Amino acid sequence: MGWIPGLHEHRARTFGAATGWAAYFPQDLAARLPSEPCVLQSTELVEALVRRISTWPRERLRSEAYHRIVAVLIDELQSSPEESLKLPMPEDRRLLAVASRLLAEPASQQTLPEWARWAGISPRSLVRGFKAETGLTFGRWRALARMIRALQELEVGAPVGEVAMRSGYENTSAFISTFRSYFGTTPAAYFRREDAGLPAPVAAPLTRPPSG
């Protein structure tokens, strides 16, 4: 569940078919939520409240009952923890080009110096830029990008072995080991939890449009 405060440029990208909803809050209510874009863990209560509000006719939107429900929704959003995995995108045009290609080609085996040469910057600038603009080292960012793409493919039913190869791992065992380090379980167990309606961490890139 993504939260984007007002006045933040943004764009969204989905992998495969997607459904969902968007809720817009007036400034006084939005001020009670995080001041920076983030991904929050959704809850059954949040989804139920949004469904209830979406069915109300316009004339009821000024009622006390409506304001009480909205107040509960804000309280629930305030208590929703941020997802443990998110992928901030750099703003620098050259770094963003590298990041975009890494997301598009997770199996690429190009080294850091090769990526720097492709982007037209020095390896040191690439390392410093990723850390300064995303808060992550280049290696950590690349590993997260691979996990995010892998999770998206697994979500639509792709076989684990094929996903491992397309994510740049030499074998399925190495991929499952890395997956476990991020999500605390194997891919099969992860999606069994989702099928049972239990909460599971969701990795999602927070993207910005190119600057300049």
What's the pLDDT tens digit per position in 125-161? Answer: 999 999 999 999 999 899 889 988 888 888 888 899 9
In the block, residue with structure tokens 């072995």: 161
| Helix runs in 21-122, H state only | 27-30, 44-54, 64-79, 93-104, 112-119
Between 110 and 56, where is the model more confident?
110
Q: Report the Cα–Cα distance between both ends of the chain, in Å, rounded.
A: 29
Q: Using CA atoms, how far apart are residues 157 and 98, in angstroms rounded to an integer?
A: 28
Q: By 3-state DSSP, what share of the chain in percent is helix, strand and coil, each rounded to 5?
A: 55, 5, 40
Longest dimension (CA), the chain: 61
If you average pLDDT over residues 54-60, what whole number do you get? 79
pLDDT reading at 21 higher than 90: no
If you average pLDDT over residues 11-19, what whole number do you get? 62
If you average pLDDT over residues 44-65, what whole number do you get? 82
For residue 99 the two structure tokens come to: 């990041």
CA-to-CA separations, 204 to 4, 66, 147, in angstroms, rounded: 13, 32, 10
Does the global pTM surpass 0.85? no
> Helix 187-195 crosses helix 172-183 at what angle (to 10 degrees)?
50
If you average pLDDT over residues 59-85, what whole number do you get? 81
Asked if residue 160 lies in contact with residue 116, where contact means CB atoms within 8 angstroms, the answer is no
* pLDDT of the residue at 194: 54
* pLDDT of the residue at 207: 34
Query: What pLDDT band is residue 62 in, cutting at 50, 70 and 90?
Result: confident
Q: What residues contact residue 202 under an 8 Å CB cut-off, 6+ apart?
A: 39, 41, 83, 85, 151
CA atoms within 13 A on the CB side of 112: 16
- Domains defined along the chain, listed by start: 2-79 (no CATH), 86-206 (1.10.10.60)
pLDDT reading at 83 higher than 50: yes
* pLDDT of the residue at 129: 95
